[in-house]
Structure 1
Amino acid sequence: MLMEMVKLLFSRYSEMVPPNRTNFVEGDVSDQTGKVFLVTGGSSGIGLELSRILYYKGGRVFIGGRSETSFAAAVESIKSAPAEGCENSKVRGTLEFLAMDLCDLTTIKHAADELLSKVDRLDIAWYNAGVMAPPAGSKTKQGFELQWGTNVLGHFLLNKYLSDLQMKTAKNAPRGAVRTIWVSSIGHNLGPKPNLINIDDVNFENVSNPDPWVGYGQSKAGDIVLAYEYANHVSGSGIASFSVHPGNLKTNLTRHQGIWGQKLAQRVLKEPRYGALTELYAGFSDEPIDNDLSTKYIIPWGRIGRMNETLNMALQNEDFGTKVWNLCEKQVAPYD
């Protein structure tokens, strides 16, 4: 028991303060010409850097976001500055905008339909977009707690529309090559007790002065559960479904932290490329692929880590994951 506790503490410290070396970099990814990728939130931060790499590997990259203006700026940034190690490469992909607002579930079907009308495959989806610790009481267009509605329900509904296409793609692909990546965070440990998700009150309607950080933790625990449960739903299809903590990084996720919080973040956090490499590892590394295509929780900068033990036990020993999945089904049903 003591040794297991030491391992857990070391794992958590290593996740918070990862080594400077990276285990998986741009050069580890082969030419991806002909492959189709989706990156939500791909116009800024980690998503932008991930999209940059995919473009210079020849991928057809769909960037999901709210603003076509932001997308245009991202395209300019990507085309003017190659990904590291790709400066002399002649390979180029394409970048395409997919209009969606994850905090408005009524926009998801239109975005999915647009993608489905343009492609006949989807190799990897990175559900990367998110919001962190907004002002207390923030809601989505449908009245859900903003972080639960955006980080969990928006991606859950999008994935529901795209799952059949990924299963079709997996039929003609090597086992584990088609992947769905659910971006979580070390912040999932902040979720409400006992199991990090308050299934009976995910909107904190019965909590006075709800803490936005607890809400953030709940949403990121939700992403881990969705990765786990989705793997169960597509078991035998060859699709890999992983959750990933990309790292503590300089992105616009810190925009709600005030001027001093943002100044501190700029001093102590890493550049977004590191997070992109973590997500790249989750998408392309062979290391997480074994007899079990689920349950992998990827940590910086491309390693298999350990999710919160309480959450892990709930997923292993109870029908907790099924309850969370069914709750999401119920909440998105009016917009399906």
Structure 2
Amino acid sequence: MSTYSQMFPPKPVFTEKDIPILSGKVFLVTGGYSGVGLEVCRALYHKGGRVIIAGRSESSYTAAVEEIRGNCGDRLTVDLSTPGSLEFLCIDLADLTTIKPAVEKMLENVKRLDVVWYNAGVMVPPAGSKTKQGYELQWGTNVVGHFLLHKLLCPLLTATAAGSEAGTVRAIFVSSIMHTYSPKPYGIDFDSISRDNEKASKMAIWNLYSQSKAGDVLLADEYAKRSVALAPVSNEDPAKKKPHVVSISLNPGNLKTNLQRHSTGNKIKEFLVSMILHEQSLGGLTELYAGLAPETADYNGGYVVPFGRKGSVVSYVKKGLTSEGTGAKLWEILEEEVKDFA
């Protein structure tokens, strides 16, 4: 029933009209110039936010800027005379060497970060596709690249949280309903995630995608624990910690986006899949709900489902997190693997 509810969700309760004015706040969205990320950036910009769009294609960013500025969407009513701003951050998540220099450049003129959406993703690319460093492309992009980016952004997120209203600074890890098809017993086959991995080369491409989406769930859960532990203490009361960064994972929904660009060719399959796909703007609402809704301030370590509701990760992935320490294990592995790029 949970899967059915996510595939055919009720109408959203949280919509663009519920987004407050965001002037003075700073946001970063990976993959923000297309698909669901574009919808997130559109809303943030027209509500007055400073929006940093991270991606590898400046031409795609330029086209997105024209689209965002010229179209506030069907449901958004705002004073267009006072929009926010849009900036490009050139990062290729499939090449770890590009991430630290880009973040260092960003930090020269960005002094706060209120919400980051790790939204970019690769789904079912041609078999054998790899990142620059030799990771299976979906794992390397969806998990490893985002982990390194998050590691480098953590100090700024933590500092922003210390001076902000509790629960308003957030890190959003975009997963998928496909995490429910990730490898058992706990969602990650740890023997298949290293560079140039022979086992990964023999796994089905959809299994690899599902594993990467489970990886996003694990990172969100583990960071939720660590963000509380790492929160700075209050100057007035050293025993009391200041607000921490809220970490959430989510399933944006089954959506009509360019994420399916590699999964075409079978016309019957395409037709059947199209029957369960929703407009990408609704997926944007799921992500905006996780990042901005007042009630999700209490969702640290939680999981959001379409189109803006509290949900639960699949039971066996949850069991790994709670009884087997899979989140901590993955975090420690990735710390070691990205250390030369951090």
For structure 2, which runs of at least 5 residues remain unmatched after alignment?
A: 232-243
Q: How does 1:202-213 map to 2 (within 5 A)?
A: 202-203=193-194, 205-206=198-199, 209-213=202-206
Q: CA deviation at 1:87?
A: 5.1
Partner of 2:236: none
Alignment counterpart, residue 68 of structure 1, candidates 34, 39, 58: 58
Aligned to 1:35: 25
Structure-1 residue corresponding to 2:302: 296
Q: Does 1:321 align with 2:327?
A: yes
CA distance in structure 2 between the aligned counterparts of 1:148 and 1:214, rounded to whole angstroms: 11
Deviation at 1:288, TM superposition (A): 2.5
Q: 1:35 to 1:109 in 2, by over 3 A?
A: same
Report the counterpart of residue 46 of structure 1 in structure 2: 36
Q: Which residue of the partner structure matches residue 234 of structure 1?
A: 227
Q: 1:65 to 1:324 in 2, by over 3 A?
A: same
Q: In structure 2, how many angstroms separate the alpha carbons of the residues matched to 1:85 and 1:208?
A: 45
Kept in 1: contact 2:256–2:277 (CA 8 A): yes
Corresponding residue for 1:200?
Answer: 191
**Which of 21, 38, 46 does residue 56 from structure 1 map onto?**
46
Q: State whether structure 2 residue 336 is matched by structure 1 residue 330.
A: yes
**Are residues 1:274 and 2:282 paired?**
yes
CA contact (8 A) 2:220 2:301 kept: yes
CA distance in 2: counterparts of 1:35 and 1:71, whole angstroms: 21
Instruction: Report the counterpart of residue 234 of structure 2 in structure 1.
Output: none
The CA distance in 2 between the partners of 1:319 and 1:70, in whole Å, is 39
CA contact (8 A) 2:32 2:55 kept: yes
For residues 174 and 267 of structure 1, the distance between their equivalents in structure 2, rounded to whole angstroms, comes to: 42
How far has the Cα of 1:262 moved from its partner? 5.1
Asked whether the equivalents of residues 43 and 76 of structure 2 are also in contact (C-alpha less than 8 Å), the reply is: no
Report the Cα distance in structure 1 between the residues aligned to 2:71 and 2:263, rounded to whole angstroms.
29
Note the alpha carbon deviations across 1:194-226, whole angstroms, 9 max, x for none: 111011222552266320110011100000000
Whether contact under 8 Å (1:245, 1:300) holds in the other structure is yes
Q: Does the CA-based 8 Å contact 1:124-1:180 persist in structure 2?
A: yes
- In structure 1, the partner of 2:239 is none
Q: Is the CA contact 1:186–1:245 (under 8 Å) kept in the aligned structure 2?
A: yes
Equivalent position amino acid for 2:124 in 1: A
Q: Alignment partner of 1:275: what SS?
A: helix
Q: Is the 8 A contact 2:144 2:334 kept in 1?
A: yes
State the alpha-carbon separation in 1 of the partners of residues 321 and 332 from structure 2. Answer: 14
Match of 2:237 in 1: none
Structure-1 separation of matches of 2:200 and 2:26: 43
Which position in structure 1 is the counterpart of 2:311? Answer: 305
CA deviations over 1:107-137 (Å, ceiling 9, x no partner): 1101211221111100000000000111222
Question: Are residues 1:126 and 2:111 paired?
Answer: no
- Matched letter for residue 275 of structure 1: G
Are the aligned partners of 1:190 and 1:216 in contact in 2 as well (CA < 8 Å)?
no
1:248 alignment partner in structure 2? 254
Show the counterpart of 2:160: 169
Q: What amino acid is aligned across from residue 220 of structure 2 in structure 1?
A: A
Q: TM-score, normalised by structure 2?
A: 0.91
Q: 1:157 to 1:207 in 2, by over 3 A?
A: closer
Q: Percent identity?
A: 50
SS at match of 1:277: helix
Change (3 A) 1:208 1:115: closer
Indicate conservation of the 8 Å contact 2:286/2:304, yes or no. Answer: yes
Query: What is aligned with 2:235?
Result: none
Q: Cα gap change, 1:196/1:29 in structure 2, threshold over 3 Å: closer, same or farther?
A: same
Decide whether the 8 Å contact of 1:255 with 1:262 is kept in 2.
no
What is the rounded CA distance, in whole Å, between the counterparts of 2:251 and 2:35 in structure 1? Answer: 14
Partner of 1:97: 88
Deviation digits for residues 48-97 of structure 1 (CA, Å, limit 9, x no counterpart)? 11100000010000000111100000000011111322255433000000
- Structure-2 change in CA distance of 1:114 and 1:308 (3 Å): same
Structure 1: runs of 5 or more not aligned: 1-9
C-alpha distance in structure 2 between counterparts of 1:262 and 1:117, whole Å: 46
Per-residue CA distance 1:269-327 (angstroms, 9 max, x = gap): 1111001000000001122233xx52210000000111010110111112221111111
* RMSD, aligned CA: 1.6
Inter-CA distance 207–325: structure 2 relative to 1 (3 Å threshold): closer
Q: Which consecutive aligned stretches of 4+ in structure 1 deviate over 6 angstroms post-superposition?
A: none
Measure, in 1, the Cα distance between the counterparts of 2:187 and 2:214: 6
Q: Deviations over 1:117-168 (max 9, x none)?
A: 1111000000000001112221101000111100001110001111000111
